[in-house]
């Protein structure tokens, strides 16, 4: 099994960013762990097609488009764009696609020799090591004691 590559080996240092849509003042722009999100008022129309057009002019390639988002690529880096409406605002999120980067990490990982046999342990070390006690067939030795339940009913509170 290949060991996963470090995130720095998979991803470039530069996070993807979103410029605000032309003529629209965003409510907030937020850096995320994998990219950036921009929050617009609900009144902004055609957010997904406008954002995609803007990203295409900035060198992004649309690989697939679905309702509410798209898969993009730029400089060999896979990205996801999503547009969602929450409580009267529209959130546009552009983030790295780590699932697309995972196969590349497996290919870049060094090969592991699975046919090699482990080296024999030093006999002096095994002679002095304590041994584990033998397993017994009596299950009652290892079972937890049963918890007794009370047989008397709980007292009733006095009436005022």
pLDDT tens digits, 16-39: 999 999 999 999 999 999 999 999
CA distance 81 to 56: 12
CA distance 126 to 118: 15
CB 105 within 8 A of CB 112: no
SS3 of 71, please?
A: strand
**C-beta pairs of 42-47 under 8 Å, 24+ apart in sequence:** 42/85, 42/88, 42/89, 42/90, 44/90, 47/21, 47/83, 47/90, 47/92
Asked whether the predicted pLDDT for residue 61 surpasses 60, the reply is yes
Mean pLDDT of the chain, nearest integer: 76
């Amino acid at each position: 099994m290949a060991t996963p590559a470090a995130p720095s080996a998979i991803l470039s240092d530069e996070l993807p960013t979103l410029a605000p849509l032309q003529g629209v003042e965003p409510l907030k722009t937020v850096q995320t762990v994998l990219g950036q999100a921009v929050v617009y008022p609900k009144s902004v129309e055609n957010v997904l097609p406008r954002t995609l057009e803007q990203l295409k002019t900035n060198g992004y390639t649309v690989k697939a488009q679905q309702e509410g988002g798209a898969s993009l690529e730029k400089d060999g880096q896979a990205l996801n764009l999503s547009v969602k409406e929450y409580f009267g605002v529209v959130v546009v999120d552009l983030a790295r696609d780590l699932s697309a980067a995972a196969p590349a990490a497996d290919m870049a990982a060094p090969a592991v020799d699975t046919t090699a046999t482990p080296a024999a342990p030093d006999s002096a070390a095994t002679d002095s090591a304590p041994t584990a006690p033998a397993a017994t067939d009596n299950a009652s030795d290892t079972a937890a004691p049963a918890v007794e339940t009370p047989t008397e009913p709980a007292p009733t509170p006095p009436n005022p």
